Chains A and B, each alone.
Chain A
Amino acid sequence: MGMTISQKILAAHAGRDYVEPGELLNCKLDVVLGNDVTAPVAISEFKRLDLDKVFDQEKIVLVPDHFAPNKDIKSAEQCKIMRDFAGQYGIKNYFEIGQMGIEHCLLPEQGLVLPGDLIIGADSHTCTYGALGAFATGVGSTDMAAGMATGEAWFKVPEAIKFVYYGKLSEWVGGKDLILHTIGDIGVEGARYMSMEFTGEVIRNLSMDNRFTMANMAIEAGGKNGIIEPDAITLEYIRHRAKRSFTLYKSDEDAVYCEIREYDVSGLEPVVAFPHLPENTRSVSEATGITLDQVVIGSCTNGRIEDLEMAARILKGKKIHPEIRTIILPGTQQIFLEAMRRGYIEIFIEAGAAVSTPTCGPCLGGHMGILAKGEKALATTNRNFVGRMGHPESEVYLASPAVAAASAIKGKITPPWEV
């Protein structure tokens, strides 16, 4: 019987030729990731093991991005725990402020995650790397600690849902709209414990940045991983980034899926997820006119260069509505620099947006754009739970950079074609 790409990657890392859904495997890991919120807990657990070394100094990645640059004294202490640990144990891939970026923008950019890899990260959006044809999944801090010690983790081989997208995307529609549309269809637990495999002609023609956005939000449907078969677009992306060998896996023709869902996305409008769940989706036309207080463009979902390109295209020569606070956060230093070279930063500032150093800050209500009671934000982030960006009585609408930029200009949710 054939295997899916996810089965194949898990099998290869367990030293097996064939594995089937439901099997429990102990697998070797290629990358173990943590951030300033999750790594301190993992380090505290790791230290209980009384080990003088980690399993591999090259394969652990530590990124201070959530409450960094340090937002307060407690956050500074947490970042220091991670920095000290990185120094003490000789962790090669620790990224200090000035080099760091939002982890899920940074690791692919730096070539630290590659096709065929098995990756765990103590951050739920670790599933982002599935866009490269890797098996990547979020875990908690204790799994990260055990991973740092042993280089291994146990996995239950997931069943898979295959999503097939066909048709032609209209001008303002991209990865964010496809994934929100999918979550709206199957719900926030529609793929609980499962592998989400994104396929079809639309995916084949989708850029890497848009693919990252899709895989990134697999967790918002409860998915264990989101994955896209690597192809010429993947290879072009990693060509100058990969510094080690990698393996390309593809699902077999006779691979078994528990469900296949097909979407004709011709005519799909930009999608907006209403408070307080990513599954509460409507088309932008149905959301038009909702007044806003803040717009955030950035995050591990939409903080890449194409996202900023889209925002710049819409904001060029325009002014942001005077009652809207717009915060734009390039995902990494490299993305920031590239945006500057292309003139996007000037466009943003002239339009009246604040441009920030990379941080997860506002997405999780950490810092850099917290909402007051009763305020509404439209964000290109991934979650709109109660209190996610601030006060429990604030509201978050999720959408693409195109909708976000258009809405910033009008002060209310606006389709991109109306500005």
Chain B
Amino acid sequence: MIFSGRVHKFGADIDTDAIIPARYLNTFDPQELAGHCMEDADPEFPNKVQAGDIIAADKNFGCGSSREHAPIAIKGAGVSCVIAKSFARIFYRNCINIGLPILECSEAVDAIKEGDQVEVDLKTGKITNLRTSEEYQAIPFPEFMQQIMDKGGLINYVKERKGS
């Protein structure tokens, strides 16, 4: 899978309350959640994000609550991929499980600027800044995680195993 999109940058320790505040958790409709995505970190984000855009964030992205609504909101907003220096554990797992592509790469986060056009090859972990033509190498997903992603998330993966 190769994605190309415009980058929105965020700082360190962006928690799941910032990604989707709890006051909106009385629904799990992706489009409704997307309308409030990242709102407490950047109130303008839901209006300016476009399909295919990429989030680049500093360390510990997605810390805090286990709410799967956080990656659902990001995916619902049309974000194609999140690149961060590191991800909080539950958020990382949730992204794999719902099929929101993520990569860890400090170099890329440091070099990429707000608004840059970036290309991401999920299979190889290669990140290319199309503005500067610089390339960065992230560690690609292990194969079994790629498999879960290929099947469209953990439920489809389990469904297939149950059927076999």
* Chain A contacts to B: CB under 8 angstroms: 24, 37-38, 40-41, 44-45, 48-49, 51, 66-67, 71-72, 74-75, 78, 121-124, 126, 138-143, 145-146, 149-150, 188-189, 192-193, 219, 222, 224, 277, 364-366, 383, 385-388, 392
In the complex, residue of chain A having the shortest beta-carbon distance to the beta carbon of B23 = A365
Return chain B residues, CB-CB under 8 Å to A145: 154-155
In the A-B complex, the 3 residue pairs with the smallest Cβ-Cβ separation, listed nearest first, are A140-B94, A74-B26, A142-B97
Q: Are A124 and B40 in contact (CB under 8 A)?
A: no
Q: Are A142 and B64 in contact (CB under 8 A)?
A: no
Interface CB pairs A-B, < 8 A, 29:
A38-B67, A41-B28, A41-B69, A41-B72, A48-B159, A49-B155, A49-B162, A74-B26, A75-B26, A78-B26, A78-B27, A124-B65, A126-B66, A138-B66, A139-B94, A140-B93, A142-B94, A142-B98, A142-B155, A188-B13, A188-B63, A189-B59, A364-B22, A383-B17, A386-B15, A386-B40, A386-B41, A387-B21, A388-B22
Minimum C-beta distance from A120 to chain B (A): 10
In the complex, residue of chain A having the shortest beta-carbon distance to the beta carbon of B26 = A74
Contact of A193 among B15, B27, B89, B98 (CB under 8 A): B89
Q: Are B66 and A140 in contact (CB under 8 A)?
A: yes
In the complex, residue of chain A having the shortest beta-carbon distance to the beta carbon of B41 = A386
A140 to B64, CA, bound (A): 12
- Total chain B interface residues with beta-carbon distance under 8 A: 39
Q: Are B26 and A49 in contact (CB under 8 A)?
A: no
Return chain B residues, CB-CB under 8 Å to A72: 26
Q: Are B21 and A123 in contact (CB under 8 A)?
A: no
Q: Are A366 and B66 in contact (CB under 8 A)?
A: no
Q: Are A49 and B40 in contact (CB under 8 A)?
A: no
Contacts A48-B155, A139-B93, A149-B158; A189 near B25 (Cβ below 8 A): no
A290 to B158, CA, bound (A): 52
Return chain A residues, CB-CB under 8 Å to B67: 37-38, 140
Contact of A138 among B15, B23, B28, B90 (CB under 8 A): B90
**Which residues 68-104 in B have Cβ within 8 Å of A in the complex?**
68-69, 71-72, 86, 88-90, 93-94, 97-98
The residue among A78, A142, A149, A388 with the most chain B CB atoms within 10 A of its own CB is A142
Contact of B66 among A75, A122, A149 (CB under 8 A): A122
Return chain A residues, CB-CB under 8 Å to B90: 124, 138-140, 219
Minimum C-beta distance from B108 to chain A (A): 19
